[in-house]
Structure 1
């Protein structure tokens, strides 16, 4: 593990209907982050468009892009090469006819693809109909080598599952990124909104603490109306943040403003925290076989 500090950049942005505009704005924010010293930059989940999973529509599969000829990846490869940064690029991946993934590609500072992750946990909730669109990932919980050490990226709904975070840590990740598209249903915000957002932050801070690593969550902002319900829609709550290995928030964005959020990562801090909180040492790996079962029925 390298001990040299480096700087993360999180791009919190709103997403509009025109893909080219989203790509251009993402590139603008990446350049801004790089100018401020960011070396590893992460974009929000499915940033190329509004969050289309609010409805089930087979025509929307046309938005998917093949890994070897993705306009989104081509655009981010160009800006990564120009800014000499690593860019974590979410995209809607077309793997084959009828087979699609919610994916993240790591683009290096030469514009080359260095790794791929496919979202493992796929939700199916009102206005989050992702099971209609996405096949669960089959690459496992991977970590990518960079000059700054190993990093990992899961995606949105993966945030709620401790197993994924643990396996990323066991693969040597220093930072765990969560590109995200999460927000409030308008009719729930007043009653449940504060608790929902707090739970979202708390569970990810818990991953940072339990695994002794940095966690970086990057969300979109803005209200995106429902295409099928005049009273529906999603208000994305922003609140992108970086937590250190003790779960301390070292950077946090507002709920409603486009933001380039910067945070310094000090890999040596992992060593210090893990020496005092040696959770990896004290794991009872001989006693966890039940975790591979759906439920432990009596």
Structure 2
């Protein structure tokens, strides 16, 4: 009876291993001959487009190339202090328009499944700077990731500002912006919504964190901030990559999607070895 059970699970795990191997091979080969991923990186501008945008900068799809451009311009123009993050903010504004950027899940069936069952977690949104640099679009958090990635080469302290503000008779105002420390002062940067304000004024950063209604309404006049409180605005992730866990989950699920067949094969071989030992003992 014991040998029968072991042989059953041996055949089961071996079959699962073969199925997952064939699935992985099929998905990877089909992706290699499909240009859909490239097409999804560079999207056409939406109708009624009013954002700052430069197609030449938007087409830079290599992170090192963009960093070289930024560094060249900073040195060529002798930018220093607050001028550096302002220039980087301008670059991010020119590279992206506002639209959610997604990664390809063509070979990551586990991530695709996780996103299907838990869509509110946004598992398939692009979070890795190396993925985001290939896009010409991104939402607030995605543009902030690139802003911080470019900024960190200049040894400024920086952090992430997360806003989740109740708006009367509307959905919450959920937003993601940046704070940069120059000397002893912090400054506010929003590459995504591109509000009009003096980026050299440190009081803006302070007032935003204090949930100052008047300042928020000047920055984002299309919203009613009557219900805003300090608890709705969080400043954190000082000098840290803000999407570390998300990128790690994407990479782990990609690895498991590609190599889960190997795990089942190991179990199948171990069961086969055990079955042979029992067969020898019975002889």
- TM norm. shorter chain > 0.5: no
TM-score, length-scaled by structure 1: 0.23
More strand by share: 1
| Greater relative CO, 1 or 2 (CA 8 Å, sep 6+) | 2
TM-score, length-scaled by structure 2: 0.24
More helix by share: 2
